Amino acid sequence: MIDNAGLQRALTVDGARIVAERATRVAADHLITDSGIVRASTVVDARGTSGQGPRQTAFGVVVTRERARPVLGAAEAVLMDWTPIEETDGRTLDDSGMPSFLYAIPLDDERVLLEETCLAGDPPLTITELRGRLEARLGGLAEDALDTESVSFSLEGIDSPWRHKPLSFGARGGLLHPATGYSIGMSLAAARVVADAIADGRAPADDLWPAGARAVHRLRTAGLHALLALDADQTRGFFATFARLPVARQRAYLSGRTDLPGSVAAMLTLFARADHRTRRTLARAVLTGR
């Protein structure tokens, strides 16, 4: 969970000239705004994802820590609770095949965010559907919320970002993990790589995208297609299997954007431990892209 205000205070831009305008066109050495042209020796495009293709959606409520106690129990946080939400007739709300999970994370000493999330969908669950699932899952705990949050963003940036000019960065430029939706950690880690390359007169795309990073990016994109192909039961089983992987392999898959051997090992272990039906689904999705 990022403290946006705190991050902005920590990352100063002293000595920079800030042009607070909307870019209507972005090129490798200039951009066009509503009031004119801004030129630069290097342009980095960090405008976010386009909105096309698979998306992650979520709806959450902010409640007091005391109100969240039945959800958290003795845990400090809950990353993914895939427990099916039962209706009065015995069916579950994800019988249609699109699962969602509960995410519970403290915002500070007093407040907790409880959020129902559709990890990936094309199309995804709507905010209205997720609100209904969260209310059904939490019951009265969702009442008297201090605040609410709605989330919807694309999980895919531009294709082959290392070939794109100007340089795309952040979620737009392939630094969003398509199986989690996380991008800030990777982007902050990569910022120094890009800045050093520009300062030294090198092409930043070459430093940002060595061969290992390109291969991992392709594997993760294939993983997103595989995730989209799973039904609700398969998805829950998939993440239960992932949770039992050795921590080193979990980290390699989640964080190692240049660690091709680690990513391959994690994905092969997941495939080997999956049931036969899930293996067929995963193999078909990776081979066909759907």
Domains of the chain with CATH codes: 55-154 (3.30.70), 160-288 (no CATH)
Looking at residue 89, its pLDDT comes to 53
- Chain-centroid distance of CA 238 in Å reads 17
- pTM, full prediction: 0.89
Q: Is the dihedral of CA 113, 115, 120, 122 positive or negative?
A: negative
pLDDT tens digits, 4-62: 888 888 888 888 888 889 998 999 999 999 899 999 999 999 998 877 789 999 999 99
The secondary element (H helix, E strand) that includes residue 168 is: strand 167-168
Tell me phi and psi for residue 117, to 5 degrees: -125, 135
Contact between 232 and 281 (Cβ < 8 Å)? no
pLDDT tens digits, 177-224: 988 899 998 999 999 999 999 999 999 999 999 999 999 999 999 999
Looking at residue 88, its pLDDT comes to 55
Q: How does the average pLDDT of the chain come out, rounded?
A: 91
> What DSSP string runs through 174-241?
T-S-TTT---HHHHHHHHHHHHHHHHTT--HHHHHS-HHHHHHHHHHHHHHHHHHH--HHHHHHHHHH
Looking at residue 87, its pLDDT comes to 67
